[in-house]
Structure 1
Amino acid sequence: MTKKKEKDGEPSETTDVLSDKPESQDTDLSNTLTKDELRKFYEEKGIDLSPDVPIHPKPIPEFEKSLSDKITSKFGSKVNVDYVRPNRIRVSTKREDILDVAYFIRDELRYDHAESVAGVDYPDSKEIEIVYHLGCYTDEQNGSQILALATRVPREDIPSPGKDKSRTPSLRDVFYSVEFHERECFEMFGVYFEGHPDNRRLLLPEDWADIPPFRKDFKIKGR
């Protein structure tokens, strides 16, 4: 939208009235962002964050909270609920507790399969995180939910997959669908899954002699 300024009956320069309009500080983003995300958003926009400017955190959805509450009620300090959002819950635990937590999520919360297993390399803290994304086919209320179950294992600077400390219990006997996902994490990050019936390489050749290629210090030779 444009508007012409007039002076003494003659049109002068054309200005864009929308471009001069400051962005509203009252935009309600509380339904899409967490409190920290809101703060970062406003800071990037250069908006004042003094105490008289309210920041409203996103309300926690009741059904998802009821699921996370059941986990914390059962395991207490053995688990940490990282976030609860619409259709999304993330829970982290130590590797020695992950089997018990996984069985509880399957048997009591009715999550019946793993949709994927992801790895995240943290070389600075010398850890590798394994994240199971769990879903449900058999319960209508849980059908739209994804529960992320995460744990961390030690990261060796000179990895020897299957022979070093980068290992965690396999969830293959809890969620059968993790079988190939865990094999991929084994070869790409070097995390050995104890109890997995087939800890062989899945995509890489058996004579692969370099470090696991999804680690951040992996470098393609010749580049």
Structure 2
Amino acid sequence: MTQPNQPTTQPNQPTTQPNQPTTQPNQPTTQPNQPTTQPNQPTTQPTKSRFGDKLLQELKNTFGIEGKAESDRRIMIEIPDPAQIRKVAEFLREKGIDHVKSITGIDYPDQKKFSIVYHVSSYGDFELAKLILSLRTYVPYERPEIETLYEIWPSVWTFERETYEMLGITFKGHPDLRRMFLPEDFEGVYPLRKSFKVKQEALFIDKQA
């Protein structure tokens, strides 16, 4: 005997799910605009404009001498009369310029004179320490001498001795104006004068070589 026919398949079932949204609702892709720069910060005034301009004006009013700013950190002051150098140095010392950094001596044979440039600044005042003043004056060939500034700026001790030794400029009143490199009995043209000539030594040739 056989069983009555049974259905061999199940009733049709849905093969796919109902449509689902495939993407999320739109989201903002960027953040709101942010400021890209910082607000303006106050800037400090250059050292020269705060101190240099004032010093130049005071020097002009007091001594009648001129100067010019070569940069925000360096000022050249011309002192035509070397007899004024001590008074100018005393004035600057009272303003806080407390030491000499170096001295530059230059020979001008065509004009028969030497220039002496004192490069001065400050250790004690932080703001003035950013500034270098160059005090330039001249002495003639026939009388190459000038007053020492040792009593005002003791740091000038070595620089005056070196300038004396190399150019023959005498710093009147210096307590120890001895030579440092040349022998005490040195005679002839001073080594940093333009008229100084280097002696040419004969070459030694070994003929047996």
For the criterion TM > 0.5, the same-fold answer is yes
Tell me how far apart the structure 1 counterparts of residues 195 and 154 of structure 2 sit (CA, whole Å).
32
Question: What is residue 27 of structure 2 aligned with on the other side?
Answer: none
Q: 1:136 aligns with which of 122, 125, 129?
A: 122
Query: What is the percentage of aligned positions where both structures have the same residue?
Result: 38
1:193 maps onto 2:171 in alignment: yes
Amino acid across the alignment from 2:158: F
Instruction: Summarize deviations over 1:42-73 as a string: whole Å, max 9, x none.
Output: xxxxxxxxxxxxxxxxxx95222122112112
Confirm or deny: 8 A CA contact 2:98 2:123 kept in the other structure.
yes
Amino acid across the alignment from 1:169: E
1:171 maps onto 2:149 in alignment: yes
Point out where structure 1 has 5 or more consecutive residues left out of the alignment. 1-59, 157-164
Q: How does 1:91-110 map to 2 (within 5 A)?
A: 91-93=77-79, 94-107=81-94, 109-110=95-96
What TM-score, normalized by structure 1, do the two folds share? Answer: 0.65
Question: What is residue 105 of structure 2 aligned with on the other side?
Answer: 119
Higher relative contact order (CA 8 A, sep 6+): 2
What TM-score, normalized by structure 2, do the two folds share? Answer: 0.70
Q: How does 1:1-223 map to 2 (within 5 A)?
A: 61-63=48-50, 64-76=52-64, 79-93=65-79, 94-107=81-94, 109-156=95-142, 165-222=143-200
Confirm or deny: 8 A CA contact 1:68 1:84 kept in the other structure.
no
- Tell me which protein shows more strand as a share of its residues: 1
For the pair shown, the structure with the greater C-alpha radius of gyration is 2
Confirm or deny: 8 A CA contact 2:59 2:66 kept in the other structure.
no
SS in 1 for 2:146: strand
Instruction: Summarize deviations over 1:147-185 as a string: whole Å, max 9, x none.
Output: 0111100114xxxxxxxx110011111100001100000
Amino acid across the alignment from 1:104: F
SS in 1 for 2:134: strand
Tell me how far apart the structure 1 counterparts of residues 70 and 93 of structure 2 sit (CA, whole Å).
18
Runs of 4+ deviating beyond 2 Å: 82-85
Amino acid across the alignment from 1:202: M
Change in Cα spacing, 1:62 to 1:82, as seen in structure 2 (3 Å) is: closer
The alignment covers a number of residue pairs equal to: 154
Measured after TM superposition, the shift of residue 83 of structure 1 is 3.8
Amino acid across the alignment from 1:154: P
Tell me how far apart the structure 1 counterparts of residues 172 and 154 of structure 2 sit (CA, whole Å).
15
Confirm or deny: 8 A CA contact 1:61 1:84 kept in the other structure.
no
Give the CA RMSD over aligned residues: 1.8
Tell me how far apart the structure 2 counterparts of residues 192 and 204 of structure 1 sit (CA, whole Å).
15
Instruction: Summarize deviations over 1:18-63 as a string: whole Å, max 9, x none.
Output: xxxxxxxxxxxxxxxxxxxxxxxxxxxxxxxxxxxxxxxxxx9522
